[in-house]
Structure 1
């Protein structure tokens, strides 16, 4: 196998990837780690170019710079993955790793130059391969562990595939280093058996392409999930919106019909909200809505969901809840959100309509009952709870 040609092919592939990532960069890439990943790919491309030992590069200099850039690229990949996952970053450990590997490369370049001065036919030093194998292998295993742990549902499949690739490389590198150290130290870096060389370098080429595609796919899936979340979230209150409520209601109805477990629907309306806007202004009205949403979310149980239905109307879904429990929770919410006003602060209260799922109910039927109960609460003087 022509290792130099393979390294040049990897250089070309990585340079193309880095160029496309740089051209397509955006402000979002600061948060998801893709900008750091782009720099890592560029450093790796230069490293392979230098380690191909082309004629116009002096051998000691190319070995030194190639391994230093390789160390930097591994550190940047490590950093990018942790930026993507939102994990804390041990910058001192990363700097130490780069210094150790770069130092080993420098030492090996000096030893190689001395050996060539005494014997021009001597083989390249194996120090970088052995040191890099253990250090890089450890970092790849850490990457695999970080990617495997608790991925979000929309990322699970791709993230686990990338984690398995890192696991494979994390096991292969130290095994190769140990093999060279124990049995092939005198043979030279590229004098392993043909089967070993082909398997190692072929997997390395696949690994480079697959991990780059995998990281890009992870960023794409996250961006799509964030866009979907924004489309399902009310910008002012940060509660799920009407579209999200429709999906949640469909799920609640399906669960209730399968398991015959009733759920409760609360419809809430801020009392006299138009007068709040008229007297205190729309800015204060928006602040009241946002505050009310936070209080509503804080007052619900962990399994409950709150939504902004529209305007000053809100909805809460209470799974596996009977009428008595729904009334207790609604009364508690009513008292928690109530606030006496003064000259500078509007009075706040809310009316509640409660409906309980019944076998055969459609979404429209349960909403109509909750809406009628809410209308009755408002007609009876507001700031009260009525069960349909």
Structure 2
């Protein structure tokens, strides 16, 4: 067997089969390119589901991590450390908010948001104990914990994990009327992705997100924006909500916040909302650790220049123009997205999304499928235009073949 085949066989034998990776074994990476164990180079058009917005091995982020590794990596929140206050301050400023509650993974941020919204509902809004309701959208993806999959509509994510956590109401994504009708005096929050990533990069109808903001203010309900995948430059703005001129009550951040170096997530909100917590009521041993804060501070500094957002906007316009030219010819049925983020619906006659991804892998381009015939394109924001065009040429070749 080849080195690749041996590595894959070992992984299949000794790891749980909760993923179905493409048959490539990566050994090193830089920028938008990855190299496998046999020296073949691949263009990365997935960027770790947007965790690698700033590219593989970004020098600023690696240097920040290395410098912190020589100082202190973990204290737990039992003590203060010298990077924590600056991290919270800078991230709150980036979000135009007041307080930060750091965690590690995106799913932890969502779980924290659920707990925050419920506690706020009981202590501030006056909802009767045990009666708090949170409204979510169909086809959502907020993580894979037991509580989060309890309000998923994806059978693959949800099946065989019951009994499920109660307290959630599911309405169609993009439907303001349904959202309005679902609200009661016990509704404490609306939790939404401004663009639904796992569902196929679904952008809601114009006016929907401003309508959600207006309705939640009117009903004294928290608007929680899950920007774990859409935020931090991906769509051409710092946050996807900015395209609609909307400010939520709470941002959920993750993925790119750790720069692809360490897992970092955060709940960012006002003092009135995050102020409901008292010592001992919620926490994380690794949340807000010095290493995570050092890397995230560098991410925040990079975003404050605006250059990555501008690059994502400019290259994103180019990406969507080129992808748009593929529609109408029978190979591509639809293209959606914003910035350097696109969902491409392949005509089923050409193959499933998985099959198209495998054919692109042979052409040295890496993407990932979702929901049958859709592939997602989300390159690192540092990708060069020539490299992006090279990848698009490979896509055209695969579709024409």
Query: TM-score, structure 1 length as denominator?
Result: 0.19
In proportion to residue count, which structure has more helix? 1
In proportion to residue count, which structure has more strand? 2
Structure of larger gyration radius: 1
